[in-house]
A = this chain, B = another copy of it.
Amino acid sequence: MAFQQVTIVGTGLIGGSLGLAFKQHDLAARVVGCDRADVLDEARRLGAIDSGQTELKPACAGSDLIVLALPVGGIIDSIGRLADAVTENVLVTDVGSTKREICGAAMKVWGEKAAERFLPGHPMAGKAESGIANASAELFRGAPWLFTPLSQPLAPKASAFLSAIEQIGARPMMCDAAEHDRTCAYVSHLPQMLATALANVVDEMANTQPPAEQLAGAGLRSMTRLAASPYAMWRDIALTNADNLADAILKMEQKLAHLRENLKSPELRAEFERAQAARAMLK
């Protein structure tokens, strides 16, 4: 067993999927969940946790691994509340979508012990539909799991966690927290903002005949799928990565203006050909 007792704080889509995967691969003797009582009931019923606790500190008591699987604001809040509760031989890790503010909070709370106590992480896995009901032990298979360690080499518990997530199919990658936040603004946060914006632009058209929603094809549907994502998670991402995300959105505005000004020029061909080549790289 990699870990004796794991506490997963937040047993929604990510936390619940991690619980299912850890149990399926026998990576922990016992998995404790911390969430609302009704979510914990569902997580236990699905086999994602062995037991649940609605209060943070009791949920973490006696665990050698604590996974904070909350929106970024909740992670920062939990780090503050767990400050004294995390002793030697306990590793705290998180799954937050932005990393600079989380790393800053950990360093403020744990000082020179921060690198030993806390491994900042971000699994690049998800679904438009959140919640424990959509959890799956296979969610992380093939997905990058980024880490922005506070120092290297990693502490032994942190290395054990990397090895555990490799066993559930994830691909650990190391990077700098600032680099992480900038890259994710483009590859993850910008697509979300585009889907939200497009759904609203189409919705705000004056009444059309036939109604626009009856004409939605596969293209519009795939381009707005992310608009179903929960706001609570995105509010924290926007708050903690506003600088990078504003840059990315502005670049997109400029690119759209360029296309708009070249609808009848050969430059449109060049943009399409570059995009086809770039898209082929993403497959």
Q: Footprint of B on A, CB under 8 Å?
A: 124-127, 143-144, 146, 173, 175-176, 179, 182-184, 186-188, 190-205, 208-210, 212-229, 231, 234-235, 238-239, 242, 245-246, 248-253, 255-257, 259-260, 263-264, 268-269, 271-283
Contacts and interface: CB of A to CB of B under 8 A. Distances in A.
The 9 A-B pairs with the shortest beta carbon distances in the complex, nearest first, are: A203-B278, A199-B275, A227-B279, A231-B272, A227-B275, A196-B275, A191-B223, A249-B260, A238-B263
B200 A183 contact: no
Contact of A126 (B124, B196, B217, B276): B217
> In the assembly, how many copies of this chain are there?
2
A253 B213 CA distance: 22
Contacts of A176: 209
A186 B202 contact: yes
A225 B222 contact: yes
B188 A219 contact: yes
A234 to B, nearest CB: 6
Contacts of A182: 208
Contact of A252 (B124, B201, B210): B201
A191 B224 CA distance: 9
Contact of A205 (B183, B198, B224, B238): B183
29 contacts: A126-B217, A143-B217, A173-B210, A175-B209, A179-B209, A187-B212, A187-B215, A187-B216, A191-B223, A192-B219, A196-B271, A197-B255, A199-B275, A199-B282, A201-B248, A201-B251, A202-B278, A203-B281, A204-B251, A216-B282, A222-B225, A227-B276, A231-B273, A238-B264, A239-B263, A242-B264, A245-B263, A249-B256, A253-B256
Contacts of A191: 198, 219-220, 223
B217 A276 contact: no
A162 B175 CA distance: 58
Contacts of A273: 231
A220 B212 CA distance: 24
A245 B229 CA distance: 27
Nearest to A274: B200
Max chain B C-beta neighbours (<10 A), residue from A215, A231, A281: A215
B245 A197 contact: no
B278 A197 contact: no
A127 to B, nearest CB: 8
B264 A239 contact: yes
Given A199-B276, A200-B275, 11 more contacts: A125-B217, A173-B210, A173-B214, A179-B209, A190-B202, A196-B259, A197-B255, A225-B279, A228-B280, A238-B264, A246-B263
